[in-house]
């Protein structure tokens, strides 16, 4: 069992490392409702910032989602979750693409955070609240946090702003050279099957 001070070092990892890790995880664990949401919801079309009107979440739930998503991906030298419309994306996923069981788990998790005044706390207190929720034995709490992280990362990495200005997509990494002397490639031969 870790104390909150032990977990703080995990929360404050370098942003570049966090993006690398999350990019790897995106290919591994994305639910079907999230994929469907990506196909139908465009976070860049929703208003950004805190002045948006939620369509499916109530106002306090939307504030909790905004604060939590910004805690997961804060603004640094790259835009944060709120800057690219992630809370609006989560609102649309919640209302249009989650089944009733997913909605119930998500709403229960939001209620737990909301009951402690999560949206009005400092970022350190919010991090402590999220760590406390993650360390509980509650399966629903862990499912909520997993879903929240999944939707935050999905909304962030599929937003137009991030795709165009933060990530670098190179469909063919490096140029193809058919005949290269072995001495130029470190005397390593690639095996063919």
d(CA 91, CA 81): 13
Residue boundaries of the structural domains of the chain: 4-185
Strand, helix or coil for residue 63:
helix
Buried b (16+ CB within 10 A) or exposed e, 19-56: beebeeebeeebbebbeebbeebebbebebeeebebee
Contact between residue 48 and residue 83 where contact means Cβ atoms under 8 Å apart: yes
CA quadruple 128, 134, 135, 136: dihedral positive or negative?
Answer: positive
Interior angle at CA 143, CA 30 and CA 87, nearest 5? 65
- Smallest Cα–Cα separation from 42: which of 109, 94, 89? 89
Strand, helix or coil for residue 193:
coil
Render pLDDT for 143-193 as a digit per residue (tens, 0 to 9): 899 999 999 999 999 998 988 888 877 666 677 777 878 777 777 666 433
d(CA 78, CA 22): 15
Residue 49 has what pLDDT? Answer: 39
Contact between residue 66 and residue 88 where contact means Cβ atoms under 8 Å apart: no
Average of per-residue pLDDT across 114-136: 89
Return the structure tokens found at 132.
Answer: 């406390």
CB atoms within 10 A of CB 78: 18
Render pLDDT for 9-35 as a digit per residue (tens, 0 to 9): 444 566 666 666 665 555 544 554 554
Q: How confident is the model at residue 139 (pLDDT cuts 50, 70, 90)?
A: confident
Which range (73-87, 104-118, 175-189) has the least confidence? 175-189
Contact between residue 90 and residue 160 where contact means Cβ atoms under 8 Å apart: no
d(CA 33, CA 26): 14
């Amino acid at each position: 069992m870790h104390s909150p001070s032990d977990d703080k070092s995990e929360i404050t990892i370098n942003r570049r490392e966090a993006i690398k890790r999350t990019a790897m995880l995106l290919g591994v664990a994305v639910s079907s409702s999230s994929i469907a949401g990506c196909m139908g919801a465009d976070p860049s079309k929703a208003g950004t910032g805190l002045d948006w009107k939620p369509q499916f979440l109530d106002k306090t739930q939307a504030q909790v989602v905004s604060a939590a998503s910004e805690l997961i991906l804060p603004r640094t030298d790259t835009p944060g979750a709120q800057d690219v419309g992630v809370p609006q994306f989560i609102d649309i996923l919640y209302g249009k693409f989650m089944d009733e069981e997913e909605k119930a788990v998500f709403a229960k998790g939001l209620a737990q955070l909301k009951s402690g005044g999560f949206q009005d706390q400092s970022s350190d207190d919010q991090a402590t609240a999220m760590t406390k929720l993650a360390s509980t034995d509650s399966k629903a709490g862990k499912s909520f946090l997993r879903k929240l992280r999944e939707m935050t990362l999905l909304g962030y990495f599929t937003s137009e702003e991030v795709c165009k200005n933060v990530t670098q997509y190179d469909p063919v990494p490096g140029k193809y050279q058919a005949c290269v002397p072995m001495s130029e490639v470190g005397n390593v031969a690639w095996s063919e099957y």
